[in-house]
Amino acid sequence: MSAVTPVIEQASSGRVRRFLTGPVGAQITAVIAFLLLWQLVTLIAPRVPTPASVAHFLYIEITGGPHGGIVTGQFWEHFAATLRYFSIGLLIGFTAGVLVGVVIGSSRIGQALLNDTVLVLLTLPAFVWAFLATMWFGISWQAPVVAVAFSSFPFVTINVAQGVRSITPELKNMSSAFGVSRRKRFRHLTLAAVTGYLFAGLRFAIIIGWNGILLWEWFSGQEGVGFRTRYWFDANRYRGFVGWVIVFIVFIVIVDRVLLNRLQARAFRWRDPGEVSDGIEQNGG
Amino acid sequence: MTETLAQAAPDREALALELRRTAAGSRRRRYLAVVGGWLAFLLVWWGLAALLGSEARLPSPPRVLQEVREILAGDFWTQFWASIVRVIAGFFAAVAIGTPLGFIMGRSRYWGNFLQAPVVVAGSIPGLTYAVMAFVVFGISFWGPVMAVGLISMPYVAINVAEGVRGVDRGLINMSIAYHRSEQQIFRNVVVPSVLPFIFAGVRLSFSLAWKVGTLTEVFGSSKGIGFQIRRNFQLFNMPAVIAWVLLFCLFMLLIERLVLVRLERRLFRWRQWERD
Amino acid sequence: MARIDIERLSKIFPPPTKGGDPVTAIGDISMEIEGNVFVSVVGPSGCGKSTLLNILSGVETPTSGRASVTEGEREARLGYVFQDARLLPWRTVMDNMTYVRDDEGSAATEAAAHYLEMVGLSHTHHMFPGQLSGGMQQRVGIARAFSVEPDLLLMDEPFSHLDAITARSLRDHLQILWAATRKTVLFVTHDVVEAVQLSDRIIILAPGGVVFDDISIDLEHPRRVTDPKVATLQAEILARFEEMHPSSAAAELGA
């Protein structure tokens, strides 16, 4: 009996250790560590609200309850508003990006003329577009859409261009040598190769575009996630501020890791990992 | 036989000349294309500005140039200095935290696995989040941008250092042991020089990101710096000034990244240019 | 005058894969080496030759038996030349030379300069290893080993990574250095021909890390491969070596 139990104990502690060091376990531990760190920080910096108070706030904000006279319960309306403009802007930015990307990737003249411009646009952080959009369109529905479109456009372009360029001349020669019809060639060759890059571009476009609309709403909006964040900040209710910050972080993390990573993995099944381009890894605001 | 040889020689020469000419030609064509691209960009900008007519909509290139000159002649350097000092301080923090972290990750497989996921997650959190966090913790102060820069660059440094530590040449360590070198000597002469290029690479890779995030944090919570200037002119609806500051922001980001950092790397690691792997 | 005492030495490594067999690098070796002699240990790869050097230099510990390297009453000072030069790529040649010395300053640099001159590399003091050819790097490695004025010089197949022409030159450099300093050298190689050219004594190892033969060579130094006496001896000893480690094509060649 005593010879058996130690072996079992060893096995289970091995399993616990493996779980902790595996991807899921490590992430959970990281989250817990972060929460503990947060709690510690509240002791040093008095303005920082505790995790518990933020959680409580979010509960009220979502379900609608008394909060010192401020209207709550409109969580989903604000979220929907942001999502609406976000998606329209993303659609525009993505479409434009694909078009320009194809031009840059397939024609040398196109590349010579447009590539550097797109590179410059890549270096502009999202907050610049938030400002410019307001200065052009004031406080209207066009402004956030424009902010999202412009900030996401260059990432799509760069990735699509690389995707198109990756269709090496040999592939093109091969299919013309076999006399495959033009449409078929476009579909199978071009589209398949480009799809993977499309997803990469889409992923970065979403992250940057999301930054873009939040920044716009913070500085100029009248509704939406960014606006609400600013609202609580101005009211000096930091748990409200932090609560909404968590909302937008969690949203983008979920979208990115759960949704997009899966889609990208599927689209890239035929390729080695690690060859995806992100232009320059740019998640900055 | 000699006749055909004599014939072959000038042919070969002619071919070589032809190749050199076309190589130079294609290089020249590429320069022209790039210049053409910039000209096209400027012309489109100018045209659009003329079309829209008002400087509040889109100021023309000359108008922006004038603004840039005014800024450069004015307090640009104080603002730039304020911004760059924060970025440098942030990098110091990133290196101070990331290097030991990377060491632990590189030397121990357990900690490497354990820390890999959180470090990668930390590296993929959008800069906006860090800017906001820094703002929450520090408010309007010098330290906000420093913290944001530090947080966003730290994963790059840590991961690079881990790579560097894992890649330390075991043969050199064994050689040092065979010659009875002390642990300190081995650390100073083998480990540190192996890892140093990786630290620098982490800094160089994250520079443009750090510059953006630092500026963003300034936009929120600062009373000095390029980010603050952009916001101030935005609030004044001074379009030429906003564009001028943005242009300067990008220009210096590229200058520092491409010129300063790359040159510095080459000087610090002179010995690498002859390395054969 | 260094003295190597090896008594029933064995080194067994744990199996490389789960459920495999442990690896016997050294089965059972005993030998005594004394005096300023050049001794070669010859055998094909996997015979435990490098392991033997690792144990003598302290990098590895024996599984059983003992090995000691002494100079009179004290532990011998060791110099080590590896298959690859193992120079610190981020330090100059001079800094690499002084790295292994315990003294500092001008004493160290003068000694280093002296040995660099003996291998014909005086002009490379401030160059980085990356600027040197493989042969030159190995010459620095050899000069480095000699410069610590070791009682015993361990050399682990130092020329096996070089092309034949460079290797021949380096063997000559080595003979010059050895003639000038007359250290005890333990030289490990898989090349019997090379061993005959360089050594006073050849120890042939069999698979499983045991001694197969122990041959003394009595020709004067330095030996040139163009010398017919050297060539004859090389053929003889190679034949002896082939008894233990035959060529896999021996049968077809009617040997």
pLDDT band at residue A176 using 50, 70 and 90 as cut-offs: low
Q: Is A166 on the interface with B (CB under 8 A)?
A: no
Chains C and A touch, contact meaning at least 3 pairs of CB atoms under 8 angstroms apart: no
**A 114-153 residues with CB < 8 A to B:** 114-117, 120, 123-128, 131-132, 134-136
Q: Pick from B33, B253, B254: which is nearest to A112 by CB?
A: B33
Neighbour-count burial of C88, counting CB atoms closer than 10 A to its CB (0-12 exposed, 13-18 middle, 19+ buried): buried
Q: Above 90 in pLDDT, residue A45?
A: no
Q: A168 pLDDT band (50/70/90 cuts)?
A: low
Whether residues A117 and B37 touch (CB distance < 8 A) is answered with yes
C130 and chain B: CB distance < 8 Å anywhere? yes
Task: Give the residue-averaged pLDDT of B211-224.
Answer: 87
Average pLDDT score over residue span B222-232: 89
Q: Rounded mean pLDDT of chain A? A: 77
Between positions 230 and 259 of B, the ones with CB within 8 A of A are: 230-231, 234, 237, 239, 242, 246, 250, 253-254
pLDDT of residue A133: 92
Select the residue from B39, B109, B114, B128 to test the A interface by mutation, using most A Cβ atoms within 10 A.
B128
Residues A39 and B30: their CA atoms lie apart, in Å, by 57
Tell me, letter by letter, the H, E, C secondary structure of chain C: CEEEEEEEEEEEECCCCCCCCCEEEEEEEEEEEECCCEEEEECCCCCCHHHHHHHHHCCCCCCEEEEEEEECCEECCEEEECCCCCCCCCCCHHHHHHHCCCCCHHHHHHHHHHHHHHCCCHHHCCCCHHHCCHHHHHHHHHHHHHHCCCCEEEEECCCCCCCHHHHHHHHHHHHHHHHHHCCEEEEEECCHHHHHHHCCEEEEEECCCEEEEEEECCCCCCCCCCCHHHHHHHHHHHHHHHHHCCCCCCCCCCC
Q: A115 and B124: CB-CB below 8 Å?
A: no
Cβ separation C58–B177 shorter than 8 A = yes
More confident: B54 or B8:
B54
The pLDDT, as a whole number, for residue B272 is 80
Q: Identify any residues that bridge with C4 across adjacent strands, giving them in sequence order.
A: C33, C69
Q: Is residue A277 part of a domain?
A: no
What is the CB neighbour count within 10 angstroms for residue A177? 8
Token representation of residue A188: 């199978």
Look at strands C23-34 and C38-42 and give their pairing. Answer: unpaired
Q: Are A125 and B125 a contacting pair at CB < 8 A?
A: no
A240 in the same domain as A109: yes
User: Does residue A236 or residue B87 have the better pLDDT?
Assistant: B87
Has residue B4 got a pLDDT over 60? no
Domain at B61-274: CATH architecture:
Orthogonal Bundle (1.10)
% of chain C exceeding 70 in pLDDT: 99
- The dihedral through the CA atoms of A241, A247, A249, A252 has a sign that is negative
C128 CB neighbours in chain B (<8 A) are: 270-271, 274
Sign of CA dihedral C54, C57, C62, C64: positive
CB–CB of A207 and B126 under 8 A?
yes
Nearest CA in chain C to B172: C86
pLDDT (0 to 100) of residue B209: 86
In Å, how far is A195's CA from the nearest CA of chain B? 23
Residues A109 and A182 in one domain: yes
The pLDDT assigned to A270 comes to 56
Task: Tell if the CB–CB gap between C100 and B172 is shorter than 8 Å.
Answer: no
| Distance to chain A for B186, nearest Cα, Å | 31
What's residue A264's pLDDT?
65
Q: Is 3.40.50.300 the CATH classification of the domain at C1-73+184-245? A: yes
Phi, psi at C156, each rounded to 5°: -105, 90
pLDDT in tens, A3-41: 333 444 444 556 776 666 566 676 677 778 888 888 888
List chain C domain ranges: 1-73+184-245
The whole-angstrom distance between C213's CA and the closest CA on chain B is 28
What is the model's pLDDT at position A143?
Answer: 93
Find, among A216, A195, A107, A224, the residue nearest to A152 by Cα: A216
Question: In terms of CA atoms, which chain C residue is nearest residue B174?
Answer: C59
Percent of chain A with pLDDT over 90: 16
Q: What is the pLDDT of residue A180?
A: 61
Question: Please, which residues 174-233 of chain B have a Cβ atom closer than 8 Å to chain A?
Answer: 205, 208-209, 211-213, 215-216, 219, 230-231
Share above pLDDT 90 across residues of chain B, in percent, rounded to a whole number: 32
DSSP 8-state secondary structure symbol assigned to residue A49: P
Q: Is B75 helix (H, G, I), strand (E, B) or coil?
A: coil
> C-alpha angle A22/A27/A28, rounded to 5°?
105
Is the pLDDT at B80 greater than 70, yes or no? yes
A10 and A146 fall within a common domain: no
Give the tens place of pLDDT for each residue, B38-58.
888 888 888 888 888 887 788
Whole domain around residue A20: which residue ranges? 4-48
Handedness of CA B136, B137, B140, B144 (dihedral sign): negative
| Contact status of A23 with chain B (Cβ, < 8 Å) | yes
> At B8, is the pLDDT very low, low, confident or very high (cuts 50, 70, 90)?
low
> In this complex, do A108 and B41 lie within 8 Å of one another by their Cβ atoms?
no
**More confident site: A155 or A262:** A155
Per-residue model confidence (pLDDT) at position A275 = 42
Calculate mean pLDDT across residues B112-129: 77
**DSSP 3-state of A70:** coil
Q: Supply the pLDDT for residue A284.
A: 37
Q: How confident is the model at residue B184 (pLDDT cuts 50, 70, 90)?
A: very high
Q: Pick from B123-127, B158-162, C1-5, C221-225 the range whose average pLDDT is largest.
A: B158-162
3-state SS, residue B145: helix
Identify the band that residue C138 occupies on the pLDDT scale cut at 50, 70 and 90. very high
Query: Do residues A138 and B237 touch, judged by C-beta distance below 8 A?
Result: no
Does the beta-carbon distance from B212 to A256 stay under 8 Å?
no
Q: Given CB atoms, is B51 within the 8 Å cutoff of chain A?
A: no
Q: pLDDT grade, residue C121 (50/70/90)?
A: very high
> Does A111 fall in a domain?
yes
Shortest distance between the Cα of B171 and any Cα of chain C, in A, equals 7
Mean pLDDT of the region A138-151: 92
Nearest residue of chain A to residue B249 (CA atoms): A124
**C146 CB within 8 Å of a chain B CB:** no
| pLDDT tens-digit map of A202-231 | 888 888 899 889 999 998 889 889 898 888
Name the one residue in this structure whose structure tokens are 């990668």.
B120
| Cross-chain Cβ contact B269/C100 below 8 Å | no
Q: Is the pTM for the entire model greater than 0.90?
A: no
Residue type, B206: S
What is the pLDDT at residue B7? 55
Q: Is the pLDDT of residue A149 over 90?
A: yes
In which band, very low, low, confident or very high, does the pLDDT at A279 lie, cut at 50, 70 and 90? very low
User: pLDDT-based confidence at A280, cuts 50/70/90?
Assistant: very low
- Number of compact structural domains in chain A: 2
Q: Are B69 and B79 in contact (CB under 8 A)?
A: no
| pLDDT surpassing 60 at residue C255 | no
- Is B36 within 8 Å of A113 when comparing Cβ atoms? yes
Instruction: Show the CA angle centred on residue B113, arms to residues B107 and B114, nearest 5°.
Output: 105
Encoding tokens for residue A120? 């410059």
Tell me how close the Cα of A158 comes to any Cα of chain B, in angstroms: 16
Q: Which residue has the higher pLDDT, B101 or A163?
A: B101
Region B216-220: mean pLDDT is 88
The ranges assigned to domains in chain B are: 1-52, 61-274
Measured between CB atoms, which of B172, B180, B274 is closest to C130? B274
Does the pLDDT at position A195 exceed 90? no
Residue in the structure block whose two tokens are 């531990």: A29
pLDDT of residue A150 exceeding 90: yes
A169 vs C122 pLDDT, higher one? C122
> What pLDDT is stored for residue B36 in this prediction?
80
**Structure-block tokens of residue B131:** 């800017």
B residues 141-170 lying closer than 8 A (beta carbon) to A: 152
B187-191, C20-24, C52-56: the lowest-pLDDT one: C20-24
Same domain, A81 and A44: no
Collect all residues of chain B within an 8 Å Cβ-Cβ radius of residue A109.
33
Q: What is the mean pLDDT of chain B?
A: 85
Q: A97 with A147, same domain?
A: yes
For testing the chain B interface, which of C77, C90, C92, C101 should be mutated: the one with the most B CBs within 10 Å?
C90
The predicted complex's ipTM stands at 0.84
Does the beta-carbon distance from B275 to C59 stay under 8 Å? no
Chain B residues with CB under 8 Å of C156 CB are none
Residues C151-164, mean pLDDT to the nearest whole number: 92
